[in-house]
Structures are given as C-alpha cells and as structure tokens.
C-alpha cells in the first residue's frame, strides 16, 4: 500500500495536535487553582503597589504644603526674633507647668494666639487629614501651635533632634505612633524651617490615620481585601483594631515576617499556611524633597484576603479557557495543514516536476522551490535540496556542453590531422615507391632530403600534440633558470631566419637591454616566442615587416610585443584562437609547412603559447585590425606562486 507524503505528514500532526489538547485539559483541571491564585496574587500585589504610591504621593503633597506656608514672612519674622534660649531653670519650670496651664494663661495664649498660629490653623482648614501643627524655634522652644501640647520644650524630643540635624535640617517622618496631644494614631511630619540656608525653626504636623485611612478594606476585582500597615520589623502599625479606639501600640507581629521579605524588597505576594493571600509593598519618600534630605522609617502596606474568596468563579474561568484552548488548537491544526501543504508538499512536488523535465532533456530548466513564508526565517532544507538539484543540473549541462565541445574538438582533430598528417605521409610513401627504380645519386639525395623534411613536419605535429598534456604534469616538468631575453631573442631570430628569407620579409627585434633577465623555463619560453613569431611570418605578406619589442613594467613584469602586417583576425575567430585545434573550418587552407602565406596550421600553436604563458603565471592578449595584429605577453620576472616549481 502506497501512502503519499501528505498523509505521512498529516498523521503525525493529528497526534501532535491531540496530545497538546489532552495536556491542556489536564493543566486546566489540575492547574486551574494555581492559575487563578497566581492571577489574583498579581492583582492584589498591583493594588497594594497602587495604594503605596498613593500614600507616598499624599505625604509628599502634605510636606510641600507645609513648606509653602512655613516660608511666609510672618513665620520667618517670628522665628528670627528669638535670639536666645530661656534659662534652664525657667525652661524646666515652664515645661512642668505646661500641661496644667489654663487656656487663659499668658504663656499658653502667646503660643496659641499669634500670627504664626493663625497660619497653622489655616493649614488645618485646608487639609482635614492634619489634626495638629506646632512650630518651635531653633532652640526647641514652642512658639506656635494649633492646640495645647503636652510639653513646651521640644528640643529633647527625638523627632526634633532628627529634624534639626545639628543645624543642617532634614525632613523626618518617624514610625506611625499614638500621638498624645491629638489623641490619635498618627504620622508625624517633621519639617525644618529654613531662612537663607540656616535652620531657624522646626515644625511638626500630626497626620491622623483615622482621617487619612478611614477604611481598612479595598475592593479588588469585586472582592474586599483588608489593609494593614507594618513596620520594617513586621510589627503592625495600623489595622482595624486601631480604628476601633485602641490607644496602646500594637505588639502583634506578623507571622513568618523574616521569611517573607528582606529589608530591600520592592514588593511580593504569598499564600500563608492559613490559606490567605497577602501582598507586601513598601512606602518610602524620595531621598530628597526640594533641597532637603529625607529620613523616613519605611512602612509596609499589606493587603490580604482569604483564598476561598479569591477562588470564586474558577469553574467559569476554566470552561472559558477550555473553549478558547480547543478553538486555538483547531485553528492551529488547520493552519498547520495549510502551511505544510504550501511550505513542504508543493515545493517538493515542484522539484519532482523539474526532475522529470530535466530527465526529458530540458537541461536549461531549473527548479524553483522557494516559498515566501520561509523568507523571514531564512532558508530550509528544501531550499538546499533545490539548490543542490540546480547545481547538479548545471554541472550536467556543463558536462554536456563540454562533451559536445570535446566531440567537436575530436572531429576537428580528425579533420585537420587527416589533412596535415596524410599529405607528408603520402609524399613519403609515394617517394619511397618511386625510389626503388632510381639509380641517379643526385635524384636519390634530393628525394631523401625532401622525405626528411616531410618526416620532420610529422614530428613537429606530434610534438605539438604532446605539449598539450594536462597542466599538472607540465608544472611538475617545469624547470626555472635565469634567462637572458636578449640572447634568447637572437636564437629565435636564427631559427626563423630561413622562413624570413624565403618570404623576403624583415624581422626587426628592437634593442633589448642585456640586464633583462627573468626566471623562466627556457625551452617553454622559446616555444612561446617562436610560435608567435612564426604565426606573424605566416600571416604577413611577402616583403612585409614583423616587429618584436621587449620592455619592463612596474610591479616586476616584462612585456613582449610581436606585431605583424597581416589581414587581421576575423571577429568570429577572436574568442576561440587560443582553443586547441581551432583554426577555422576550411581544411583546404591548412598548410603542411610553415611559410605558406595565409595558410592555417592545426590550431595548436596559440593553444601551446597560452598554456605555457599560464604556467609561468603570466597573461597573453592581442589587438587586431585589417592592417595587422599584435600579441602582448606579460610575464613575471620572478616565478609567481602558480608558476613556481612547488606551485599547484
């Protein structure tokens, strides 16, 4: 039974989609409780954070309000008039009598009925959270208050000393505590009064918790959460018990406090062993308000609620999550089928179709397995398969072209070799038959000389073929020596002189300096020069001029130019002249000798030249026109890496 790839992919997808569905059901049923707990825990923590931020903001506003009013000239003038502290005995006596003084007594009237106390009463009217405000001079003596206080001298109080700060002044907010003067659980806001950078007095405002936090409950997601305020040590500073009228500080400490938070914590929530959700967030003022340092005993806002209250509605939430989960899985499954079909199956099908077209002979066809959906995520294995397939087809096409060219090369070789080899060979065979009946020594000598010339031509053709053996073998057979180009050109001139004289031409070699010496394989370099020179002689008309020049070039190279006066190279032949056996299609124009004007050889000369130039790490190019051609050879003076004996 044949199962197609789509079915093989869909079946695992079904299994993979069902397993997450079952896992989701288990997670919803078993983990629903924890999920709801986590969500509500984060919610109650967010509410506690919001409450802490509100408290912090209101404290800052109250402090700024007090600072604004206490900078009035009336307050500053009253404080600046105090030049010295009362004598200790007088101060001690007044301090003892102070709690029992009547409202009509002169000392109390001076404190309660003066311009500064009038300003303090205005502040109380503007801020109903404040229950009492008092102002002392820089010695700690009371100069203004909104009501009778328990003491006249405040300089021995901790809050005063912290706020005065040895004359430097700082804002000080101590722990929440029971204030005896205002008879309320309160927060003291202690603020230094500054004039020209010096502390001239200290003010304390009593912020009533009953007025500031009248409710000890908050509504969170339709459920009531209770509120407490703790000190850093875990002791309860504010809760419902205080509102009920307790006048004693609470001694109860929150259970497991050290295990819940550290001094540096920023807020967290937990579930207690009693199944209560609790959230903890600190309340703290910034380090500076205006240009005054702030010292505050940090409080902790605690919100808590029974876990059962938080778990209400879990069943409905679970069903909703289940429904959404099933819908998401269905959508993902269907979407996955579409994606698989587009991104995998269709692309594989296109590669298969391309393979069939290539098998039918369309070697120019290429597979297109790209998919737009893969681009944001890069390519994948199917793109790699398509590239490999296209590379394979490209190599196959290249091999096919090379095979076709090789067949054409073989045909050219057979066609040209048949002419080039048969002509001298036929002459030798025919002459050998005729010589059987010849007795004349002169005729025999002349015939033998001609046969030798024809045999030499055969040897030249065969040697030229051997020079086109694979490049690696030639590299290994390359021997570099110091070659004097001036002397080498003299040898080339002597070799070519018979053909020059026969054609009545002139071979001009421009003077070459004796110091032009390069490292090269002398036999191969001689072949390069002779082949190019003989080609120039062959295509230059009788009586024409062939010119050779040599000069240095920057970068450690020499340039050799060989110029003829021939008819030029046809444009159709230019791309192919360095290919083996390429010499045009007219066999009748091929010459069995060297000097026939315009006669074409086997097409090996320039191929050998190009081969030998490459072995030396050089280059060859040419220019051509109807008035002649120039071949330009560039060779390194020192062996290049490619042309070195050890080069690859």
Tell me the pLDDT tens digit for each residue of 51-76.
888 888 988 999 999 999 999 999 99
- The per-residue b/e assignment along 44-66, b for 16 or more CB within 10 angstroms, e otherwise, is bbbbbbebbeebbeebeebbebb
Nearest to 347 by CA among 314, 376, 373, 369: 369
What pLDDT is recorded for position 136?
Answer: 94
Listed in sequence order, the residues at least 6 apart from 342 whose beta carbon sits closer than 8 Å to its beta carbon are 371, 373
Averaged pLDDT, 94-107: 90
For every residue of 82-102, DSSP letters joined together read: --SPPPHHHHHHHHHHGGG--
Element (H, E) at 129: none
540 burial level (CB within 10 Å; 0-12, 13-18, 19+): buried
Residue 423 sits at the vertex; the CA angle it makes with 421 and 426, to the nearest 5 degrees, is 100
Check which CATH number belongs to the domain holding 217 and give it. Answer: 3.30.450.20
d(CA 299, CA 301): 7
**pLDDT greater than 90 at residue 593:** no
Is 383 within the bounds of a domain? no
Is 458 within the bounds of a domain? no
Tally of structural domains, the chain: 2
d(CA 41, CA 532): 94
Q: How confident is the model at residue 602 (pLDDT cuts 50, 70, 90)?
A: low
| Residue pLDDT, tens place only, 18-47 | 677 767 766 766 677 677 778 888 888 888
- The per-residue b/e assignment along 137-155, b for 16 or more CB within 10 angstroms, e otherwise, is bbbbbbbbbbbbbebbbbb
| Residue pLDDT, tens place only, 108-161 | 999 999 999 999 999 999 888 899 999 999 999 999 999 988 889 999 999 999
What pLDDT is recorded for position 451?
Answer: 74
**pLDDT greater than 80 at residue 92:** yes
DSSP-assigned letter for residue 169: -
Nearest to 281 by CA among 293, 308, 299: 299
**pLDDT greater than 90 at residue 189:** yes
What pLDDT is recorded for position 141?
Answer: 93
Q: What residue numbers bound the domain in which 81 lies?
A: 41-310
Q: How confident is the model at residue 461 (pLDDT cuts 50, 70, 90)?
A: low
What pLDDT is recorded for position 414?
Answer: 63
Domain final residue, candidates 310, 334, 353: 310
Using DSSP, state whether 185 is helix, strand or coil: strand
Averaged pLDDT, 89-105: 90
What pLDDT is recorded for position 544?
Answer: 92
What pLDDT is recorded for position 266?
Answer: 72
Averaged pLDDT, 11-15: 73
**pLDDT greater than 50 at residue 289:** yes
How far from chain centre, in Å, is Cα 87?
77
Q: How many CB atoms lie within 10 A of CB 205?
A: 27
d(CA 357, CA 365): 7
d(CA 351, CA 368): 7
d(CA 247, CA 238): 12
Enumerate long-range contacts of 485-491, CB under 8 Å, 24 or more apart: 485/512, 485/516, 485/517, 485/518, 485/550, 485/558, 485/560, 486/512, 486/513, 486/514, 486/516, 488/522, 488/525, 488/526, 488/529, 489/529, 489/548, 489/550, 491/526
| Longest CA pairwise span in the chain (Å) | 176
Note the pTM of the prediction, 2 decimals.
Answer: 0.47
Is 422 within the bounds of a domain? no
| Residue pLDDT, tens place only, 462-509 | 665 555 554 444 444 678 999 999 899 998 898 888 888 888 999 999
Is 56 within the bounds of a domain? yes
**pLDDT greater than 50 at residue 269:** yes
For every residue of 243-270, DSSP letters joined together read: HTT--S----B-TTHHHH--TT---EEE
**Residue 481 β-bridge partners:** 520
- Classify strands 223-231 and 217-220 as parallel, antiparallel or unpaired: antiparallel
With helix as H, strand as E and coil as C, how does 284-313 read?
CCCCEECCEEEEECCEEEEEEEEHHHHCCC
What pLDDT is recorded for position 361?
Answer: 82
Is 368 within the bounds of a domain? no
| Residue pLDDT, tens place only, 219-233 | 777 778 888 888 777
Cα dihedral 194, 195, 197, 200 in deg (nearest 10) = -60
* Phi then psi dihedrals of residue 131, to 5 deg: -105, -20
Element (H, E) at 164: helix 158-164
Is 206 within the bounds of a domain? yes
| Residue pLDDT, tens place only, 356-388 | 888 888 888 888 766 555 555 567 777 778 888
Is 512 within the bounds of a domain? yes
What pLDDT is recorded for position 647?
Answer: 40
What pLDDT is recorded for position 520?
Answer: 92
What pLDDT is recorded for position 114?
Answer: 92
Is 387 within the bounds of a domain? no
Check which CATH number belongs to the domain holding 492 and give it. Answer: 3.30.565.10
What pLDDT is recorded for position 645?
Answer: 40
Domain final residue, candidates 310, 339, 365: 310
| Average pLDDT of the chain, as a whole number | 79
**Least confident among 127-141, 407-421, 480-494, 547-561:** 407-421
- The per-residue b/e assignment along 156-181, b for 16 or more CB within 10 angstroms, e otherwise, is ebebbbbbbbeeebbbbbbbbeebeb
What pLDDT is recorded for position 286?
Answer: 85
What pLDDT is recorded for position 642?
Answer: 46
Domain final residue, candidates 247, 281, 310: 310
- Name the residue with higher pLDDT: 574 or 221: 574
């Amino acid at each position: 039974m044949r199962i197609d790839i789509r079915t093989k992919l869909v079946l695992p997808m079904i299994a993979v989609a069902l397993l997450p569905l079952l896992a989701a059901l288990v997670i919803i049923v078993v983990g629903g409780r924890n999920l709801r707990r986590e969500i509500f825990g984060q919610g109650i923590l967010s509410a506690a954070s919001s409450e802490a931020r509100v408290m912090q903001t209101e404290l800052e506003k109250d402090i700024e309000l007090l600072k604004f009013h206490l900078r009035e000239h009336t307050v500053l003038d009253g404080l600046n008039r105090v030049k010295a502290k009362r004598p200790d005995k007088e101060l001690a006596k007044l301090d003892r009598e102070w709690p029992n003084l009547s409202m009509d007594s002169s000392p109390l009237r001076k404190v309660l009925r003066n311009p500064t106390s009038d300003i303090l009463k205005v502040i109380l009217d503007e801020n109903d959270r404040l229950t009492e405000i008092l102002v002392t001079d820089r010695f700690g003596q009371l100069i203004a208050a909104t009501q009778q206080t328990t003491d006249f001298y405040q300089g021995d109080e901790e809050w005063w000393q912290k706020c005065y700060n040895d004359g430097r002044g700082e804002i000080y907010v101590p722990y929440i505590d029971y204030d005896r003067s205002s008879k309320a659980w309160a927060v003291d806001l202690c603020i230094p009064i500054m004039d020209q950078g010096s502390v001239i007095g200290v003010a304390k405002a009593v912020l009533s918790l009953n007025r500031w936090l009248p409710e000890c409950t908050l509504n969170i997601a339709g459920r009531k959460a209770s509120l407490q305020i703790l000190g850093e040590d875990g002791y309860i500073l504010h809760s419902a018990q205080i509102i009920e009228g307790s006048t004693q500080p609470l001694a109860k400490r929150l259970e497991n406090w050290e295990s819940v938070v550290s001094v540096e914590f920023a807020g967290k929530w937990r579930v207690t062993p009693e199944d209560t959700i609790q959230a903890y967030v600190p309340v703290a003022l910034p380090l500076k308000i205006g240009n005054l340092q702030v010292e505050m005993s940090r409080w902790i806002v605690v919100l808590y609620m029974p876990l059962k209250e938080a778990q209400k509605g879990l069943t409905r939430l679970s069903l909703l999550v289940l429904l959404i989960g099933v819908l998401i899985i269905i959508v993902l499954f269907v979407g996955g089928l579409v994606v698989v079909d587009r991104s995998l199956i269709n692309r594989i099908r296109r590669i298969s179709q391309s393979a069939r077209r290539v098998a039918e002979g369309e070697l120019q066809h290429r597979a297109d397995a790209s998919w737009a959906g893969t681009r944001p995520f890069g390519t994948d294995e199917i793109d790699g398969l398509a590239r490999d397939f296209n590379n394979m087809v490209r190599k196959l096409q290249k091999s096919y072209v090379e095979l076709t060219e090789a067949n054409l090369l073989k045909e050219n070789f057979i066609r040209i070799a048949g002419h080039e080899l048969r002509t001298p060979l036929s002459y030798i065979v025919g002459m050998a038959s005729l010589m059987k009946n010849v007795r004349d020594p002169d005729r025999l000598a002349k015939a033998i000389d001609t046969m030798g010339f024809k045999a030499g031509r055969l040897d030249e053709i065969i040697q030229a073929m051997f020079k086109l053996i694979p490049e690696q073998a030639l590299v290994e057979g390359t021997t570099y020596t110091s070659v004097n180009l001036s002397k080498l050109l003299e040898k080339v001139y002597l070799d070519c002189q018979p053909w020059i004289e026969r054609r009545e031409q002139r071979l001009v070699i421009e003077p070459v300096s004796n110091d032009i010496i390069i490292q090269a394989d002398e036999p191969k370099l001689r072949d390069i020069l002779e082949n190019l020179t003989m080609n120039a002689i062959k295509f230059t008309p009788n009586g024409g001029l062939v010119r050779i020049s040599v000069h240095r070039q920057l970068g450690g190279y020499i340039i050799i130019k060989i110029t003829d006066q021939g008819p030029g190279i046809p444009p159709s032949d230019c791309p192919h002249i360095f290919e083996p056996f390429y010499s045009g299609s007219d066999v009748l124009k091929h010459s069995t000798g060297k000097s026939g004007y315009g006669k074409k050889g086997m097409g090996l000369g320039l191929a050998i030249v190009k081969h030998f130039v490459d072995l030396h790490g050089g280059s060859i190019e040419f220019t051509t026109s109807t008035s002649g051609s120039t071949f330009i050879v560039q060779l390194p003076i020192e062996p290049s890496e490619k042309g070195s004996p050890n080069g690859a």
